[in-house]
């Protein structure tokens, strides 16, 4: 939690805080520090979530743009849609895949 701060460093910090703020004020300072740390953590998680949402939205927009481009390309080829709709779905399939599913 404290990174590279060990027990001796933490004790020195606590002793300095006790000297600076005094025994009566120290619990209030600790409570305020705890609230500030919780708020910072909550805010940083919220920002991280918003950034991830923006990245996903950007990726979705890119895919949508590619699909629009592909649709425009298909529309620009005369007869492409009717040729695709009328094509035999089994033209490249092996001979036994062209049965009607009942073995006939």
Q: For residue 58, give both structure tokens.
A: 């950007």
Mean pLDDT, residues 40-58 taken together: 95
Q: Is residue 51 part of a domain?
A: yes
- For residue 18, is it within any domain? yes
Indicate if the pLDDT at residue 82 is higher than 80: no
Residue 49 lies in a domain: yes
Domain that includes residue 43, residue range:
7-75
Distance CA 59, CA 43 (A): 24
Q: Is the pLDDT of residue 35 over 70?
A: yes
Domain contains 26: yes
CA distances from 15 to 79, 83, 104 (A): 83, 83, 90
pLDDT band at 44 (very low <50, low <70, confident <90, very high): very high
Give a yes or no: residue 42 inside a domain: yes
57 within a domain of the structure (yes/no): yes
User: Among 10-14, 20-24, 74-78, which stretch is predicted with the lowest mean pLDDT?
Assistant: 74-78
By the 8 A CB rule, do 64 and 72 touch? no
Does 91 reside within a domain? Answer: no
* 83 in a structural domain: no
Determine the Cα–Cα distance for residues 102 and 104; give it in Å rounded to an integer.
6
The total number of structural domains in the chain stands at 1
SS3 content of the chain, % helix, strand, coil (to 5): 80, 0, 20
> pTM to 2 decimals?
0.48
């Amino acid at each position: 939690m404290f990174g590279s701060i060990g027990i001796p460093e933490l004790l020195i910090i606590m002793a300095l805080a006790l000297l600076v703020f005094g025994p009566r004020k120290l619990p209030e300072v600790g409570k305020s520090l705890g609230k500030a740390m919780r708020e910072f953590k909550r805010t940083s998680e919220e920002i991280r979530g918003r950034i991830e949402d923006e990245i996903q939205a950007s990726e979705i927009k890119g895919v949508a743009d590619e699909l629009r481009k592909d649709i425009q390309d298909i529309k620009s080829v005369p007869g492409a849609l009717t040729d695709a709709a009328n094509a035999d779905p089994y033209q490249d399939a092996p001979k036994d895949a062209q049965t009607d599913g009942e073995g006939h």
